[in-house]
Every structure is written in structure tokens, then in C-alpha cells.
Amino acid sequence: MAHRILIVEDQPDICKLIRMTLEFGDFEIHEAHDGESGLNMVRAIMPDVVLLDVMMPGLLDGYQVCDRIKKDPVLQKIRVVMLTARGQATDLAAGEAVGADAYLVKPFSPLELIERVENLVSASA
């Protein structure tokens, strides 16, 4: 059974890199390009893992999306990996405060991304 992955990333090149990295695994990959559409897609497709950029255009940033996912009883079991260029201790603490399951700093290793996603998928199975 393919595990559903939602990529919420506003940069097309990074989105493409993530998709190319994961398409060799047993994943059904979906994309959204801002926080609002990402949150709507989370509700619609109920992914196993959300790969969530922090800084995005629109009304909701990645922290706000993660916070809403983790506070919603229907969605809270969905695993969230924050993907961001912001790697300061305060950024990591903000991700932890909203319930992120993992935090990867850009540029990230494709192998590390695959490993994190596979670990989260197997932990939720």
C-alpha cells in the first residue's frame, strides 16, 4: 500500500527535488504551494506525512499549519516534517512548540529526507 505524502512548498525547484527524491519509494505524492491550500489538502486527502515549508506566501505559514493539524483531533496523528532554511535554535523550538515530528534544515540531504519519511511512516503503521 502506498503511503500518502503531502508536500507543502512554495518553491517549484525544491518541490521538484522532494518529489524526485521520494518517487522511488512506495509513496503517493501530492503537492500544495501555500499554507491555506496545504491545510485544505491535509483535510481532503489525510496524508500519512506532511513535508511542510515554514516560510510561504499567504495567510498561514508552516508553523500555523502544523499547529492547526496537531490541535485538530481528526488530523493530529498525521506526521509533520518541517522543511526550512531557518535552522536557529529558536526556529527548532518553534517547530517543537507546534508539535512538528521532525525538522529538516535546507539544504537537506535527499537520503536524510527519505530516511525521516520512512521512519515516520513505519512508526505510524
Closest CA to 96 of 122, 59, 63, 60: 63
Q: Where are the domains of the chain?
A: 1-19+27-54+61-93
From CA 62, how far away is CA 79, in angstroms rounded? 14
pLDDT in tens, the chain (125 residues): 789 999 999 999 999 999 999 988 889 999 999 999 999 999 999 999 999 999 998 999 999 999 999 999 999 999 999 988 877 888 889 999 999 999 999 888 999 999 999 999 988 76
Pairing of β 3-8 and β 49-53: parallel
Model-level pTM? 0.95
Q: Are 46 and 72 in contact (CB under 8 A)?
A: no
- What is the topology classification, in CATH, of domain 1-19+27-54+61-93? Rossmann fold (3.40.50)
CA distances from 52 to 7, 15, 123 (A): 6, 11, 19
